[in-house]
Structure 1
Amino acid sequence: MDHVGSDTEGDEPETPLLQRGHEDKPPRAPACGSSRYSLALLSCFGFFVVYSLRVNLSVAMVDMLNTTRHQSSPNHSSVCPPRPSPVRPKHNHTASTYDWDSVTQGWILGAFFYGYILTQIPGGYLACRIGPKWLLGFGVLGTVVFTLLTPIAADLGASYLIAVRVLEGIGEGVTYPSIYTMWAAWAPPLERSRLLTISYVGAQLGTVVALPLSGQICFYLDWTYVFYIFGAVGLLWFVLWSLLVFNSPNTHPRISEEERHYIISSLKNELSTSVQDIPWRAIVTSKALWGIVVAHFCYNWTFYTLLTLLPTYMNDILGFSIQQNGLLSALPYLGCSVTAVLSGQLADYLRESCDYPTAGVRKAFTVVGMIGPAGFLVAAGYTGCNYILAVMFLTISSSLGGVSASGFNVNHLDIAPSFAGILLGITNTFATIPGMVGPVIASQLTKSNTIEEWQMVFYIAAAINLLGASVYTLLGQGTVQPWAVRTSTYHD
């Protein structure tokens, strides 16, 4: 049974914090100007950087290809009548272009994930052992450096660019496990949803800004500046992260004593006394963990399919180019970022002020954040050539997906805060697979680019979302698991 807040076990002095009554809660430290919210904003900036570095290549790739060769091939007309393009000044074509076929382009765009999947579990383990600050910092710095080297790698040849993208993925792979390990030491249990969703929103904002801005940079400068400008922003973040962030409240020299006491007191019964002894067997056999694994995998199937193929759908079916309509390409991710932050506030309000069980809140937000998007995704396939309605449904679908940020996405910290980085590494390893195979399968299903084929893609994604929500509802837990707190007095 899952318990939170005012559950009846409050009279047991050694029951974990989330199972105690209100009288045992440490006094809350103010949020304004606090070190924990400064960490949330800096981690938000960090995820803005890593996601902008992740998606900018998909936009730059359009200008990296030999346009003369492309224009000589038969023009593909969209299913729907093409939308009128805005009048724009002459395109800048000063940078090099390359004769890469579609297979080579696919390898270049997909290479990131082959590096990314390699460092998920090692990243969680290393963050647990050596601390998350520098692991995350140098992971992002490595990604930044290889981003700055992208134009040189492209000139050397496609194989060099593929290698650089794999190395970028390796660097970025440690980011999520590291930030979960960081929040295990910094996030009071009843503030986890709001703090983590502030961090998460950086990923959505990075996508929102990078997609349209990369198109503008390519147009007015050239494609090489996409990597130089975003790389420079990444260097600025690394300097701020190095100077302002610390692994725990106890090592932070500028945190107030009130905030330090609040965080440490709220976590004292949740963290393991020794993270050196990692209970691998208990972790990999935990039903609570496998509930998160399935939900994470299923959610990412839809997310990565849309991230990769939404420009194709809009161009080939709805008849407008994402390059000329950057705002429309960003709307789904902007909506997702707004709902993620709002859901974080609501989830913690329900847990703290309304005494809703943590497990119930996580399951409810997961169901809304997965079944809601499934419904609107299917509906988008039946809008025909009404592109306004199609974009609206796709935006609502992605926006509702942001609700799950306060569902299964935060649950690692609920069930095992001491090992949250390792748990995230495990779930994100499985959740990276959809990024590698989902778009490939969807591409195979849409060879003729008919509306009926796209309806099948949306149906499959919706069915996978329903599966994830169902499994998580059955297996999800809201309390710290016995193996995550090495004390004999722990009661499940």
Structure 2
Amino acid sequence: MKIAGGRLSQRWIFAFMGFLAILNAYSMRVCLSITITEMAIPVKHNYTDETCNYDHEKTNETGTEDNSMDGRYNWDERTQGLILSSFFWGYIVTHIPGGILSERFGGKYTLGLGIFSTAIFTLLTPLVVQWGEEVGLIVLRILMGLGEGTTFPALNAMLAQWTPPEERSVIGSLVFAGAQLGTVFANLISGLILHEYKWPVVFYVFGAIGVLWFAVWVLICYNNPYEHPYISDREVKFLHERMNEHTHTKPPTVPWRHMLRSAPLWALIAAQIGHDWGFFTLVTDLPKYMSSVLGYSIKSNGLVSALPYLIMWFCSIGSSWLADWMITKGVMSRTNVRKLGTTIASIGPGVFIIAASYSSCDRTLVVAMFTIGMALMGTFYPGMKVNGLDLTPNYSGTLMALVNGAGAITGIITPYIVGELAPQQTMTQWRIVFWIVLGVFILTNAVFVAFASGEVQYWNDPDFIIRDREERLQKKNKKAISAEKS
């Protein structure tokens, strides 16, 4: 963390707390993916070369099976897919309102209250499931999605106020990397908890951590450098000098007409859809693959499901430093750096998850293939994930709402696809799922490479927006006068 005038730089404190925000958001979202393997009655297999027989490992220290049916729910694969996707029904709804509110009033409470509400709903999960089973859980997950829908738009709006261009890849990747470590944390801790305790404890732990984060966030983080009571004058001056050209605290209202006509925006939406399709397929359903196909015990499942995301985090941080260095030294343009990172993160993971599906029951090879694939996905973060800040610092919250909201639709689709295409959880069925992921990666990456840009767009400029609106108003008035004369 950098020091400014003898103090910790507040932009790095914000970056760390933003990282923890996404870590908490993903922990509360993802913990159900592994916990549901202990909540639902598992699929019964007739073991062939399509499913690996490792049931002998699913025993506890006393020799009895861990997957006792006591207290489990009779949820088939389609029902589980519906439960896992329901979060995103609410998630996509609050993206645009969250972005607009963050740009108008600041992201501090737009983000904070969203995470806090999700934490409360997480704490209530065991009670709701006991009362309403799958229906109650689906409703609760929708409410959690409504709370978390503001996360990325609010954080992007705050990043635009706190992040100078030369640190954008690093700080942005650090913050957004909370998604990987949140997935690691959720899978690892959930697996350990489920090995020792009943499944409700998982939700109590992650909900309590979310509440604690909110208390710290409210005390030490602020919407922008000018509101911060503890920031040094030196840091305020540095941020103002580096960002005042394209970043404004009170820009005009969103230029929807120009924004929605922007080819780089639609290229970014395409890349987000590709990224989320692959990421959500694995985040939501990898624990089920490890349990149902490879037969890992719940404790081992948490470990092997967490490993790919841990390596992905290291890759995202390392590649983000490299990306900023390449841009600063003029090795490659900002636009080409974004395209390169996105291409590596699209084609690489797609190829390696296909390889994993053809690795049969060789656990070591399967985990290695998934891990390499997810490591390469880490370059998405200095690629397309920070690209919204390049295009429009002033409207980054709204842009993130559009982009992330469009990508989040895949969170509704992918669990449903797994439920429909892999009802028996066999290798052949999963292979079809992974081929679809590769196809989506290739198509969306082609769109991004063709139309993406790393430059600030003309409609980010407040003066242009004001002139454009005045000109349109004048034309409208002239038409009205002409109509009256005629």
TM-score band w.r.t. shorter chain:
0.7 to 0.9
Partner of 2:136: 160
Report how far residue 166 of structure 1 moved.
Answer: 0.8
Equivalent residues of 1:362, 1:411 under 8 A apart: yes
2:204 is aligned, of 217, 228, 231, to 228
Q: Distance in 2 between matches of 1:264 and 1:300?
A: 34
Partner of 2:406: 430
Amino acid of the residue matched to residue 194 of structure 1? V
Alpha carbons of structure 1 residues 488 and 223: separation in structure 2 relative to 1, 3 Å: closer
Report how far residue 448 of structure 1 moved.
Answer: 5.2
1:105 is aligned, of 77, 80, 83, to 80
Partner of 2:214: 238
Partner of 1:359: 335
Partner of 2:10: 35
Equivalent residues of 1:86, 1:324 under 8 A apart: no
Partner of 2:57: 85
1:403 is aligned, of 372, 379, 404, to 379
Equivalent residues of 2:251, 2:462 under 8 A apart: no
Structure 1 gap segments, 5+ residues each: 1-27
Residue 223 of structure 2 corresponds to residue 251 of structure 1: no
The SS at the match of 1:222 is: coil
Q: Distance in 2 between matches of 1:397 and 1:229?
A: 30
Report how far residue 468 of structure 1 moved.
Answer: 1.7
Of 162-171 and 104-113, the range deviating more from structure 2: 104-113
Equivalent residues of 1:291, 1:472 under 8 A apart: yes
Equivalent residues of 2:194, 2:299 under 8 A apart: no
Partner of 1:389: 365
Amino acid of the residue matched to residue 310 of structure 2? L
The SS at the match of 2:409 is: helix
Q: Distance in 2 between matches of 1:398 and 1:32?
A: 37
Q: Distance in 2 between matches of 1:378 and 1:105?
A: 24
Amino acid of the residue matched to residue 39 of structure 1? F
Any residues of structure 2 matched to 1:444-483 within 5 Å, and which?
444-447=420-423, 449-483=425-459
Q: Distance in 2 between matches of 1:438 and 1:97?
A: 24
Write the deviation string for residues 10-44 of structure 1: whole angstroms up to 9, x where unpaired.
xxxxxxxxxxxxxxxxxx96898211111111111
Alpha carbons of structure 1 residues 60 and 325: separation in structure 2 relative to 1, 3 Å: closer
Q: Distance in 2 between matches of 1:362 and 1:246?
A: 29
Any residues of structure 2 matched to 1:35-434 within 5 Å, and which?
35-65=10-40, 74-77=44-47, 79-82=51-54, 84-85=56-57, 88-89=60-61, 97-158=72-133, 159-272=135-248, 274-321=250-297, 323-354=299-330, 356-434=332-410
Write the deviation string for residues 377-433 of structure 1: whole angstroms up to 9, x where unpaired.
222222222221111111111110011111111000001011011011001111011
Q: Distance in 1 between matches of 2:38 and 2:55?
A: 21
Alpha carbons of structure 1 residues 481 and 373: separation in structure 2 relative to 1, 3 Å: same
Q: Distance in 2 between matches of 1:74 and 1:96?
A: 18
Amino acid of the residue matched to residue 212 of structure 2? L
The SS at the match of 1:305 is: helix
Partner of 1:23: none
Report how far residue 272 of structure 1 moved.
Answer: 4.7
Amino acid of the residue matched to residue 99 of structure 2? G
Q: Distance in 1 between matches of 2:306 and 2:347?
A: 22
Equivalent residues of 2:85, 2:415 under 8 A apart: no
Equivalent residues of 2:161, 2:249 under 8 A apart: no
Partner of 1:16: none
Alpha carbons of structure 1 residues 76 and 111: separation in structure 2 relative to 1, 3 Å: farther
Write the deviation string for residues 127-162 of structure 1: whole angstroms up to 9, x where unpaired.
111110011000000001111111221122132222
Equivalent residues of 2:345, 2:378 under 8 A apart: yes
Report how far residue 319 of structure 1 moved.
Answer: 3.7
The SS at the match of 1:408 is: helix
Report how far residue 462 of structure 1 moved.
Answer: 1.1
Partner of 1:6: none
Report how far residue 243 of structure 1 moved.
Answer: 0.5
Amino acid of the residue matched to residue 202 of structure 2? V
Q: Distance in 2 between matches of 1:161 and 1:215?
A: 21
Of 373-382 and 344-353, the range deviating more from structure 2: 373-382
Amino acid of the residue matched to residue 14 of structure 2? L
Of 338-347 and 444-453, the range deviating more from structure 2: 444-453
Aligned residues: 458
Alpha carbons of structure 1 residues 307 and 458: separation in structure 2 relative to 1, 3 Å: same
Q: Could you say what the CA RMSD is over the residues aligned between the two structures, in angstroms? A: 2.6
Q: Distance in 2 between matches of 1:30 and 1:170?
A: 41
Alpha carbons of structure 1 residues 488 and 60: separation in structure 2 relative to 1, 3 Å: closer
Equivalent residues of 1:92, 1:218 under 8 A apart: no
Of 461-470 and 82-91, the range deviating more from structure 2: 82-91
Equivalent residues of 1:369, 1:401 under 8 A apart: yes
Amino acid of the residue matched to residue 45 of structure 1? L
Equivalent residues of 2:190, 2:202 under 8 A apart: yes
Alpha carbons of structure 1 residues 30 and 337: separation in structure 2 relative to 1, 3 Å: farther
* Identical pairs, percent: 38
Residue 416 of structure 2 corresponds to residue 440 of structure 1: yes
Write the deviation string for residues 47-106 of structure 1: whole angstroms up to 9, x where unpaired.
1111110011222223334x6xx6xx8555362342752763466989955444554433
Equivalent residues of 2:191, 2:303 under 8 A apart: no
The SS at the match of 1:246 is: coil
Report how far residue 165 of structure 1 moved.
Answer: 1.1
Normalised TM-score (structure 1): 0.87
Equivalent residues of 1:95, 1:224 under 8 A apart: no
